[in-house]
Amino acid sequence: MRREQEFIDGMYARVDALRGDTETAVTDALAQGSTPMQARLERDILVAERSGLLAALNAVDGSLCFGRIDLASGTSHHIGRVGLRADDTDRTPILIDWRAAVARPFYLATGHTPMGLRRRRHITTSGRTVTALHDEILDLGDETRTGHEDPSGDAVLLAALNSARTGRMGDIVQTIQAEQDRIIRAPHRGVLVVEGGPGTGKTAVALHRAAYLLYEHRELLAKRAVLIVGPNPAFLGYIGEVLPSLGETGVLLSTVGELFPGVKATAADTREAAAVKGRAAMADVLAEVVRDRQALPEPVIAIEHDREILMLDDDLVRVARERTRAAGLPHNAARETFEGHILNTLTDMVAERIGTDPYDGTNLLDPSDITQIRDELAENPEVWAAIDQLWPRLTPERLVADFLADPVGHLPDEDAAAVRRPVTRAWTVADVPLLDEAAELLGEDDRTARARADRERRTQIAYAQGVLDVSYASRTYEFDDKEDEDSEVLSAHDIIDAERFAERHEQDDHRSAAERAAADRTWAFGHIIVDEAQELSPMAWRMLMRRCPTRSMTLVGDPAQTAEAAGVGSWAKILEPYVEDRWVHTRLGVNYRTPAEIMELAAAVVRAEDPDFAPPSSVRSTGVRPWIRATTDLPGAVAEAVRELTPAEGRLAVIAPRELHRKLAARLDGVTAGAQPDLTRAVVLLDPRQAKGLEFDTVLVVEPGRYGTSDLYVALTRATQRLGVLHTGKPPKALATG
């Protein structure tokens, strides 16, 4: 143990020096910068170079190194969360990054296939102090013993599984199992589906895969970023510290309801409304809604021009509309074409009236006269009012809001009644894919974007001119009293003008790739990871596929846990419209979270509907069976059970139907109904959907008879130690006999 402690001490001496070097460099950049803008640029470059490493150092200060491999050749390598090198000329590795190829035997080597190793050592630390060593002998012919041998090789894994939860997911980098490692390091091109039941580590594998891909394909993915889509905000908070602890910050975490810039879904749909909105057919419905906004006169539009009345009738506008549609452009982008057709039509009307010889019918106007007529029409507000009526500029928000306020005519009556709502209503998660689809159908009139860019550029040039003027005034003041009036010292005015100065800085975008991606609906991500992928609707998949044209994706989920009304559930149905059969499926079959006693009860619930259901096999048993109790005083029984079950360390979750939360919270200290749950608190109140992907030491499931099978299966499989069930009415048959 002494040798390992000396290594840890030396490693952290290097870490502290690195921290100090970075802080000094940043301070120097700020102090020496010729302008605040230049200082900020230099600081950002320095921080960007080391941000991943410093994030990891700050997040896992006490457990940076967790292992050592001793090779048959006699050399050894220490394995850690990030790589560290010495300051000598050849940059000797001090700590090997867990993602490096040389570290892979730490996860895969066995006594049967030692992969060149003599010994694998797990190092446990508390802060910077080594507290335990666990050695696995892989070369059975090596008789050397250290006194730290672990015959089973499972001590570190079991200690991690039995440790108290904190309300935040920890990384599994120290205990990655062989089946997980193969998925983490799988080639990143194409679609990889990772299926597994509760507790199989699907989410942890997906997050570590993101870290691995960013390590292995840094140049590509650092520019394009990785998107991780989770089922709800609580889940994103739960996993939010994993990747920073592994040194990775170039990742955007989002729910489906946050993927449309400027919109955040805060309202909830009924199950029926979510199902209707999620159907793939909604893409055709919205396309029809857009076409309906490309109107025809009813029956004519009268335009007063130069004391004459011009009549735009159905036939004339229909021709202009069909010619515009033939170009195949999105609605807003096509408006310029439609404007041209209408102006040409009106120009022909005026030219025919004023330029036709009454005797022989010949046109007396030359091209310049025609151009003048068109220009005059283009200045007539009534012309533009007519165009706005016939081909209005539309925003996705306005189009979808108007459609949902009056869907009759576009949907069957029953579906229309399900989705109808006031225009002022907040957005729901199911609305966001509709907004994205609308944005694709509408496009953008780039004349507006160009005008906006031109205004911004003029503002930047004016600002740059102000900076140069201040610089020139300062220099003039400095040399006013000097004898050498023809000083050779140059000012900024002498070497650059305002326009070029603005150009140099208008391209400086100091946001990370993830930050830029979050603000850009058209961003193409380098890789997308979707957790609880079985829950996404066909419309949500259309949105995600747009964001990954290369189809480089990792999908994680369990069809047995599909609960959303619009969830696709089947991997083939999800992927065939986009990649046909060009996807790889793999399955995790070992349950690391849920003890065998709890898993037996949860599996019985599913088997009541599907006798062939095969749950993942649990790696451990606690000897504590779940209990099921009936009560006539539900809030009181919940409060009493919480007092009984709350662990000295760790976390307890009360999982109950949403309509009971207010009554239950009133009896639970420090618990608030309706708020976003704080998973770091000792007791949290959730509904089954909020509990997806989470785990707690102890779980109390309330009124299981009100859940669907999938929701109940999720609720019962969140516990790592103990489970209790309370009910007032008749429980599901599987629980009544459990």
For residue range 174-215, list pLDDT tens digits in order: 999 999 999 999 987 899 999 999 999 999 999 999 999 999
Contacts for 135 with CB less than 8 Å, ≥ 6 apart: 119, 120, 121, 122, 146, 148, 149, 150
E-state strands within 504-567: 527-530, 553-557
**Residues of the chain above pLDDT 90, percent:** 61
- Confidence label for 562 from pLDDT (cuts 50, 70 and 90): confident
Kindly tell me if the per-residue pLDDT of 59 is higher than 60: no
- 321 exposure class (CB count in 10 Å sphere: 0-12, 13-18, 19+): buried
* Amino acid, single-letter form, for residue 441: L
Read out DSSP for 613-660? --PPEES---S---EEEE-S-HHHHHHHHHHHH--SSS-EEEE--GGG
Q: Is pLDDT of 104 > 90?
A: yes
pLDDT of residue 44: 46
Among 16-25, 44-53, 331-340, where is mean pLDDT lowest? 44-53
**Nearest residue to 681 via CA among 664, 668, 667:** 668
Instruction: Place 35 in a pLDDT band, splitting at 50, 70 and 90.
Output: low
Parallel/antiparallel/unpaired status of strands 65-71 and 76-80: antiparallel
pLDDT at 50 over 50: no
CB count within 10 Å of CB 501 equals 21
- Measured between alpha carbons, how far is 204 from 200 in angstroms, rounded to an integer? 9
Which of 206, 211, 258 is closest to 231 using CA atoms? Answer: 258
Task: Give the pLDDT score at 41.
Answer: 43
Q: What is the pLDDT of residue 736?
A: 76
Strands across the sheet with 583-588, in order? 251-255, 226-230, 527-530, 553-557, 191-196, 583-588
User: What is the amino acid identity at position 561?
Assistant: Q
Q: Residue 24: which residues within 8 A CB-CB, separation 6 or more?
A: none
Distance from C-alpha of 434 to C-alpha of 86, rounded to nearest angstrom? 53
- Higher per-residue pLDDT: 2 or 63: 2
Closest CA to 428 of 558, 272, 593: 272
Q: What percentage of residues in the chain have a pLDDT greater than 70? A: 86
Split at pLDDT 50, 70, 90, the class of 47 is: very low
Q: What is the DSSP letter of 694?
A: -
SS (H, E, C) 285-298: HHHHHHHHCCCCCC
* pLDDT value of position 621: 93
- Greater confidence (383 vs 735) lies with 383
What are the beta bridge partners of residue 195? Answer: 557, 587
State pLDDT tens for residues 121-173.
Answer: 999 998 889 999 999 999 878 878 888 888 877 888 888 888 989 899 988 99
The rounded distance, in Å, linking the Cα atoms of 109 and 38 is 51
* d(C-alpha 510, C-alpha 130), whole Å: 40
Torsion angle of the four alpha carbons 712, 715, 717, 719, in this order, in degrees rounded to the nearest 10: -150
Which of 148-162, 310-324, 475-489 bottoms out in mean pLDDT, i.e. has the lowest? 475-489
Q: Where would I find the beta strands (DSSP E) of 531-616?
A: 553-557, 583-588, 590-591
In three-state secondary structure terms, 269 is coil
CB hemisphere CA count around 309 (13 angstroms)? 5
440-449, 536-545, 568-577 — which is least confidently predicted? Answer: 440-449
70 forms bridges with which residues in the sheet? 76, 119
Residue 599's nearest CA partner among 247, 200, 114, 236 is 200
Which pLDDT score, from 0 to 100, does residue 334 have? 96
pLDDT band at residue 22 under the 50/70/90 scheme: low
pLDDT per residue over 356-398, tens digit each? 766 666 677 888 999 999 999 999 999 999 999 999 999 999 9
| Inter-residue contact 57 to 64 (CB < 8 Å) | yes
- What does the H/E/C string look like for 207-220? HHHHHHHHHHCHHH
Measure the CA–CA gap between 702 and 658, rounded to whole angstroms. 11
Which residue, 133, 69, 137, is CA-closest to 103?
Answer: 69
| CB within 8 Å of 579: residues ≥ 6 apart | 190, 191, 551
Phi and psi at residue 731, to the nearest 5°:
-80, 165
Angle 508-512-516 from CA coordinates, rounded to 5°? 85
**Is the CB of residue 561 less than 8 Å from the CB of residue 531?**
no
Report CA dihedral (248, 252, 256, 259) to the nearest 10 degrees: -170
Q: What is the distance between the alpha carbons of residues 697 and 594, in angstroms, rounded to a whole number?
A: 10
115 within 8 A of 103, measured Cβ to Cβ:
no
pLDDT at 670 over 90: no
- The answer for 413, left when phi > 0, alpha when psi is -120 to 50, beta otherwise, is alpha
> Rounded to 5 degrees, what are φ and ψ at 620?
-145, 160
Mind listing the pLDDT tens digit for each residue in 448-467? 777 777 787 787 777 767 76
DSSP-assigned letter for residue 28? H
Listed in sequence order, the DSSP H helices in 60-174 are 105-108, 155-162
- List pLDDT tens digits, range 503-522: 655 555 678 889 999 999 99
Measured between alpha carbons, how far is 134 from 715 in angstroms, rounded to an integer? 35
pLDDT band at 16 (very low <50, low <70, confident <90, very high): confident
Torsion 673-677-681-687 (CA) sign: positive
Nearest Cα to Cα of residue 114 among 153, 155, 65: 153
The letter for the amino acid at 563 is: A
Q: Is the pLDDT of residue 479 over 60?
A: no
Over range 632-652, report the average pLDDT: 92
Q: Is 308 helix (H, G, I), strand (E, B) or coil?
A: strand
- In 10 A of CB 721, how many CB atoms? 21
Record the tokens describing residue 450, joined without a space. 């160009």
CA distance 598 to 133: 31
| Per-residue pLDDT band at 32 (split at 50, 70, 90) | low
Confidence of residue 486 (pLDDT cuts 50, 70, 90): low
**Pick the residue with more confidence: 584 or 484?**
584
